[in-house]
């Protein structure tokens, strides 16, 4: 190559020439008319020399050199900012004008060197055009017939933006673009294909697999994936192809399932490479359905059941490979429905011969340790077909099966194993002792019929000279149910006598425990007070808030001058804290205002929609506290607890009343009512002398509260107490009568008082007598429209527990017990919702659980599908005690044993165990309530039976109580049709309890079971019940 160039302008005339010669080139340059200066450069190859010469030539031409010396008109280079603006405007125009044909030429021309600018603009366009927005505010983007909400962009604009991302984005950048998934599902679209051919992205298979695994509802067309591979847009990814094959959508195509199945079966790549991958990855082969005619349901047939069947028939898949793979699938932690599909495939389609299975016996043995019981049963079924073969490894089988014999959730499989063990012994007597040892482990399982079957098998082995493992039997003897010890008595007599716990009868004790045991300690300094603010924020205890409220009344001296600054952190935490209990929500507002100025008057407006009047009592408490602060009365509220968690000592209450009287401070109805309800009759002797310092009706009221007298002289005229009390819009006698009613219902919760029959509150619930409504069950169901048959169908019914409430009069706020018993329909505003609300309600009337129990019967325990944190809080309250368990409380406890929420059922069982331990549960009432729920189909019988059985063997006294409970249930059952599911479980428990408590069944129970003596499942159990002396 030889070139001579010149550069001529007003300032200079110069030349530049280059000549190549083999491995070198020579450059000569200088002023025109001179010889110039020459330089030579040598290279390793001629190609490299020529390439560098051409590069030097191009640079000179770009600078304005030419062969004739005339400078070319080179446009001025735009600044990067101008260039970016131009590119953005051009790209935006393509999107706005839907010019999809111009997209690829634009990208080819401008992508190089401008990637960052273009990527940023693509993201900006995505945010604007593809974000879901309210189009009613931007009607210019609303499409005809579209909804109010949607995207600004249409389908074409969306495709332009997504194709741009596919073309330019790297793997990490594209992973958040879920919208790209659908456009890749159309690889034969000409625009998609052109972009993929030009851009050649290397992330497609990774992107698709990521989206499929994270969002299981997504499906990627298998044929689209094949097309992507055929065009070399992706490489083969086994997991991706397995997912796509299993998830391929069959919707909306005529005979799509048949075509799909035929394609898989007749395409070598599909059946040879892709189908086997289904067994290597957890893909939903069980959910691909189809129907062969219009009269069938949509899920009449399984696509891959058909695929595997045809491949087996046509010998396009290896049987042994399929058998081994299916067995290995059962050992994996996969979806149980997928494993169930493969089990069905093996048993119904493959139908392996014993000789085909024997090589995989160790894999089958491993199924015995699977947590999913159907897999265990599947393995047991397969063992039945191979145990007699010479290659069967008996020693390994016995080793694998031993832990299974202790599993209470696999009783069906264990029964089959017992039969297998007997057959194995017949074939191989040398394993007799080992078989007996394995069988003994079954006594760990609390199932009477299973233990009885095992005991008979052991006796059979012993009769043939097999030495039973006596020490093992002795260890397991405490776990033996019913009459098993009697059956095995000949083999237990030679070992040390098994310890028999002393029998202890359950006797109900309705006495309340001592309550005034743990005094409330008030904060003694500022640090302790600050600590309490933190405790209030993070705890659910009602007492924390009351101690702080009391501090603002009587401990203002603890607050330093700069308390506002020191409490700033707690103020911020309070502001950010969310409280779902009504009392803490209001105390939060009170404290935040007081942090600014203790003496600042506070009036909190209730803006909540809560309709529970009991919870609104906190408003009155805060109002009373604020009044004390306003008037500088440094005395605690009457209801402020002296002992944890909410008790008020009698002596302290009287001292507070005397102080108010002497200082002529008016009382607050609600404050006094709460104080009375919180005062237990303990340490009365130290309070009685203080009565003399009271007079008039207040003295009579407190004499009644302390148990000095039971007389109730209801006032018919104005008294000293009425002058002392805070007057509201109601009459004095009306309000005074409410205080007497609170006292009566607190200390005599189950008695009636005729004194109220002609009083002002005679139509208020809980005043004259306890409120004991008639319970009933209402059948509920939904009407569902079936679009296939075009008819309205009735859903499966369920039953709801409810009771009627007469049109009672509205109770005054300080009659705590009757505030929320009304005929109004339950709505979300009248629910308690949280643990905190339940605790606060109970803290106001802790000696009478009945109002709270009845309220929750409708809210929380009306259906077995309900429950939650409200039920949990209520059960904790039942466990804490401090009151006599009412019939409604025992009903709710019984309901808890049926609830769907297993956590609540377990908690209810623990509460039942503790109540039995304390002898606080009336067995007769509890068993009657439980039978009532069973008779009315409240919930699955098995849940309740499982919970009660958990009480067995906690102690001899618990066994005694449980025997009474089961007899009470059986004695009150009314079986209308067939026996409840899992009824046998409770009968087995009853039989076992009869033997353990050495009690004979009651005549009433024998009569009850007489009706079912011919029921096959109960026949042996009833026979034992009838023969127990």
Tokens 């450069």, residue located: 41
pLDDT, residue 697, reads 87
Q: Does residue 194 register a pLDDT over 50?
A: yes
Split at pLDDT 50, 70, 90, the class of 925 is: very high
Q: What value does the mean pLDDT take over residues 953-979?
A: 91
pLDDT in tens, 199-240: 999 999 999 999 999 988 888 999 999 999 999 999 999 999
pLDDT, residue 651, reads 96
Residue 75 CB neighbours (<10 A): 5
Split at pLDDT 50, 70, 90, the class of 71 is: low
Split at pLDDT 50, 70, 90, the class of 251 is: low
Split at pLDDT 50, 70, 90, the class of 270 is: very high
Q: Are 755 and 714 in contact (CB under 8 A)?
A: yes
pLDDT in tens, 611-638: 888 999 999 999 999 999 988 889 999 9
pLDDT, residue 82, reads 55
Q: Does residue 717 register a pLDDT over 70?
A: no
Between 576 and 189, where is the model more confident? 189
Residue 987 CB neighbours (<10 A): 23
pLDDT, residue 728, reads 39
Q: Are 53 and 5 in contact (CB under 8 A)?
A: no
Q: What value does the mean pLDDT take over residues 326-331?
A: 95
Residues in a beta bridge with 290: 301
Q: Are 277 and 238 in contact (CB under 8 A)?
A: yes
pLDDT, residue 244, reads 94
Q: Using DSSP bridges, classify how beta strands 775-780 and 798-803 pair: parallel, antiparallel or unpaired.
A: antiparallel
DSSP readout, 682-705? -SGGGTGGGGGG--HHHHHHHHHH
Give, in degrees to the nearest 5, the angle at Cα 533 between 532 and 535: 60
Q: Are 745 and 728 in contact (CB under 8 A)?
A: no
DSSP readout, 869-916? HHHHHHHHHHHH-SS---HHHHHHHHHHTT-S-HHHHHHHHHHHHHHH
Nearest in space to 764 (alpha carbons), one of 820, 721, 705: 820
Lowest mean pLDDT among 187-201, 424-438, 503-517, 925-939: 503-517
pLDDT, residue 70, reads 66
Split at pLDDT 50, 70, 90, the class of 646 is: very high
pLDDT, residue 826, reads 65
Q: What value does the mean pLDDT take over residues 856-875?
A: 90
Indicate the burial class of 738 (C-beta count within 10 angstroms; 0-12, 13-18, 19 or more). buried
* C-alpha distances out from residue 477 to 470, 491, 949, Å: 10, 11, 18
User: Running DSSP on this structure, what letter comes out for residue 315?
Assistant: T
Tokens 């009945």, residue located: 850
- pTM of the predicted model over 0.75: no
* Residues 293-310: b if buried by 16+ CB within 10 A, e if exposed: eeeeeeeebbbbbbbbbb
Separation between Cα atoms, residue 136 and residue 367, nearest integer Å: 60
Q: Does residue 254 register a pLDDT over 50?
A: no
Split at pLDDT 50, 70, 90, the class of 727 is: very low
What tokens appear for 178 in the block?
Answer: 């879920």
Coil, strand or helix at 770 = coil
Q: What value does the mean pLDDT take over residues 400-417?
A: 93
pLDDT in tens, 888-917: 999 999 999 999 999 999 999 999 999 999
Percentage of the chain modeled with pLDDT above 90 = 58
Split at pLDDT 50, 70, 90, the class of 696 is: confident
Separation between Cα atoms, residue 52 and residue 20, nearest integer Å: 10
Q: Does residue 519 register a pLDDT over 90?
A: yes
H helices, E strands: number in the chain: 48, 12
Residue 858 CB neighbours (<10 A): 17
Between 853 and 599, where is the model more confident? 853
Tokens 């000569």, residue located: 28
Q: For 1004, what's the count of Cα atoms within 13 Å in the CB-facing half-sphere?
A: 9
Report which listed range, 12-16, 50-54, 366-370, 1008-1012, is most confident. Answer: 366-370
pLDDT in tens, 990-1003: 999 999 888 999 88
Between 746 and 465, where is the model more confident? 746
pLDDT in tens, 534-574: 899 988 899 999 999 999 999 999 999 999 999 999 989 98
Q: Are 382 and 363 in contact (CB under 8 A)?
A: no
Residue 278 region, left (φ>0) first, then alpha (ψ -120 to 50), else beta?
Answer: alpha
pLDDT in tens, 826-836: 676 778 888 99
Separation between Cα atoms, residue 755 and residue 277, nearest integer Å: 84
Q: Are 175 and 210 in contact (CB under 8 A)?
A: yes
Query: Which residues fall within 8 angstroms of residue 431, CB to CB, at 6 or more apart?
Result: 394, 395, 398, 424, 425
Separation between Cα atoms, residue 821 and residue 808, nearest integer Å: 8
pLDDT, residue 606, reads 76
Lowest mean pLDDT among 500-514, 521-535, 931-945: 500-514
Q: Does residue 760 register a pLDDT over 90?
A: no
Q: What value does the mean pLDDT take over residues 322-338?
A: 95
Q: Are 811 and 841 in contact (CB under 8 A)?
A: no
* C-alpha distances out from residue 513 to 622, 680, 828, Å: 31, 10, 36
Tokens 């309205």, residue located: 792
Separation between Cα atoms, residue 619 and residue 602, nearest integer Å: 11
pLDDT, residue 920, reads 93
Separation between Cα atoms, residue 904 and residue 940, nearest integer Å: 15
Q: Are 658 and 679 in contact (CB under 8 A)?
A: no
Separation between Cα atoms, residue 780 and residue 435, nearest integer Å: 53
Dihedral sign of CA atoms 954, 958, 963, 969 in order: negative
Q: What value does the mean pLDDT take over residues 99-106?
A: 94
What mean pLDDT, rounded, does the chain reach? 88
Give, in degrees to the nearest 5, the angle at Cα 330 between 388 and 424: 20
Split at pLDDT 50, 70, 90, the class of 976 is: confident
Q: What value does the mean pLDDT take over residues 255-284?
A: 93
């Amino acid at each position: 190559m030889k070139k001579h160039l010149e550069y001529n302008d007003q300032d200079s005339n110069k030349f530049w020439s280059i000549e190549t010669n083999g491995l070198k080139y020579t450059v000569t340059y200088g002023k025109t008319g001179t010889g110039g200066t020459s330089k030579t450069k040598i290279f390793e190859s001629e190609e490299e020399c020529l390439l560098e010469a051409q590069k030097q030539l191009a640079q000179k031409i770009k600078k304005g050199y030419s062969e004739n010396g005339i400078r070319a008109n080179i446009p001025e280079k735009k600044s990067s900012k101008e260039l970016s603006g131009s590119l953005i405007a051009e790209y935006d125009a393509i999107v706005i004008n839907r010019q999809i044909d111009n997209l690829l030429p634009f990208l080819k021309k401008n992508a190089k060197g401008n990637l960052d600018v273009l990527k940023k603009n693509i993201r900006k366009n995505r945010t604007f055009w593809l974000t879901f927005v309210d189009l009613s505010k931007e009607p210019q983007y609303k499409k005809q017939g579209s909804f109010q909400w949607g995207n600004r962009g249409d389908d074409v604009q969306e495709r332009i933006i997504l194709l741009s991302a596919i073309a330019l984005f790297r793997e990490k950048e594209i992973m958040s673009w879920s919208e790209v998934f659908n456009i890749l599902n159309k690889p034969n679209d000409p625009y998609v294909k052109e972009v993929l051919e030009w851009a050649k992205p290397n992330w497609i298979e990774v992107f698709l697999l990521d989206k499929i695994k994270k969002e299981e509802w997504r499906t990627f067309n298998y044929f689209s994936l094949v097309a992507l591979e055929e065009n070399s847009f992706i490489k083969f990814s086994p997991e991706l192809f397995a997912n796509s094959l299993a998830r391929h959508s069959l919707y909306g195509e005529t005979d799509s399932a048949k075509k799909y199945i035929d394609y898989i079966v007749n395409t070598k790549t599909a059946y040879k490479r892709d189908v086997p991958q289904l067994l290597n990855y957890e893909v939903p082969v069980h959910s691909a359905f189809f129907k062969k005619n219009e009269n069938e349901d949509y899920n009449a047939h399984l696509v891959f059941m058909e695929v595997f069947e045809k491949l087996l028939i046509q010998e396009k898949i290896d049987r042994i490979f399929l058998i081994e793979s299916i067995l290995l699938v059962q050992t994996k932690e996969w979806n149980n429905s997928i494993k169930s599909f493969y089990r069905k495939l093996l048993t119904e389609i493959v139908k392996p011969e014993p000789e085909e299975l024997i090589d995989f016996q160790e894999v089958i043995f491993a199924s015995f340790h699977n947590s999913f019981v159907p897999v265990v049963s599947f393995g047991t079924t397969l063992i039945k077909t191979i145990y007699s073969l010479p290659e069967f490894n008996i020693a390994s089988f016995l080793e694998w099966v031993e832990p299974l014999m202790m599993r209470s959730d696999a009783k069906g499989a264990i029964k089959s194993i017992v039969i297998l063990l007997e057959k194995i012994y017949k074939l191989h007597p040398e394993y007799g002792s080992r078989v007996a040892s394995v069988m003994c482990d079954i006594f760990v399982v609390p199932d009477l019929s299973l233990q009885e079957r095992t005991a008979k098998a052991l006796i059979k082995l012993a009769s043939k000279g097999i030495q039973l493992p006596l020490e093992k039997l002795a260890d397991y003897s405490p776990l033996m149910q019913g009459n098993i010890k009697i059956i095995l008595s000949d083999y237990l007599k030679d070992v040390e006598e098994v310890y028999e716990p002393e029998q202890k009868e359950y006797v109900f004790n309705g006495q309340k425990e001592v309550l005034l045991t743990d005094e409330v300690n008030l904060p003694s300094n500022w640090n302790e007070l600050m600590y309490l603010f933190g405790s209030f924020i993070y705890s659910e205890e009602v007492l924390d808030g009351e101690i702080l409220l009391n501090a603002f009344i009587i401990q203002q001296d603890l607050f330093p001058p700069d308390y506002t600054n020191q409490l700033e952190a707690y103020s911020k935490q309070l502001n950010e804290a969310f409280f779902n209990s009504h009392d803490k929500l209001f105390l939060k507002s009170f404290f935040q205002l007081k942090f600014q100025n203790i003496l600042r008057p506070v009036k909190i407006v209730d803006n909540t929609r809560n309709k529970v009047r009991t919870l609104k009592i906190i408003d009155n408490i805060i109002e009373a506290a604020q009044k004390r602060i306003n008037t500088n009365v440094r005395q605690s509220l009457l209801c402020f607890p002296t002992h944890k968690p909410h008790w008020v000592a009698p002596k302290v209450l009287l001292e507070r009343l005397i102080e108010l009287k002497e200082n002529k401070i008016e009382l607050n109805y609600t404050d006094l009512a709460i104080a009375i309800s919180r005062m237990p009759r303990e340490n009365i002797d130290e309070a009685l002398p203080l009565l003399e310092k009271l007079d008039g009706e207040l003295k009579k009221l407190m004499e009644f509260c302390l148990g000095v007298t039971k007389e109730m002289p209801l006032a018919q005229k104005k008294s000293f107490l009425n002058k002392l009390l805070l007057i509201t819009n109601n009459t004095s006698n009306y309000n005074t009568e409410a205080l007497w009613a609170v006292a009566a219902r607190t200390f005599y919760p189950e008695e009636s008082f005729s004194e109220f029959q002609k009083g002002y509150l005679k139509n208020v619930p809980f005043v004259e007598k306890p409120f004991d409504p008639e319970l009933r069950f209402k059948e509920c169901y939904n009407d569902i429209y079936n679009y296939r048959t075009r008819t309205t169908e009735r859903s499966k019914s369920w039953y709801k527990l409810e009771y009627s409430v007469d049109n009672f009069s509205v109770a005054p706020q300080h009659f705590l017990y009757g505030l929320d018993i009304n005929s109004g329909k339950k709505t979300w505003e009248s629910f308690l919702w949280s643990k905190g609300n339940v605790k606060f309600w109970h803290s106001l009337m802790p000696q009478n659980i009945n109002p709270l129990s009845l309220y929750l019967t409708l809210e929380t325990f009306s259906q077995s599908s309900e429950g939650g944190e409200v039920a949990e809080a209520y059960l904790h309250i039942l466990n804490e005690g401090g009151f006599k368990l009412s019939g409604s409380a025992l009903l709710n406890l019984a309901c808890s044993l049926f609830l769907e929420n297993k956590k609540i059922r377990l908690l209810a069982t623990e509460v039942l165990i503790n109540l039995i331990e304390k002898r606080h549960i009336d067995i007769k009432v509890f068993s009657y309530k439980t039978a009532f729920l069973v008779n009315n189909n409240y919930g699955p019988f098995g849940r309740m039976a499982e919970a009660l059985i958990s009480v067995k063997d906690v102690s001899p006294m618990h066994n005694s109580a449980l025997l009474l409970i089961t007899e009470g249930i059986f004695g009150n059952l009314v079986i209308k049709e067939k026996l409840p599911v899992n009824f046998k479980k409770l009968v087995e428990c009853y039989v076992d309890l009869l033997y353990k408590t050495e009690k004979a069944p009651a005549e009433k129970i024998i009569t009850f079971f007489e009706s079912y003596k011919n029921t096959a499942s109960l026949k042996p159990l009833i026979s034992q019940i009838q023969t127990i002396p």
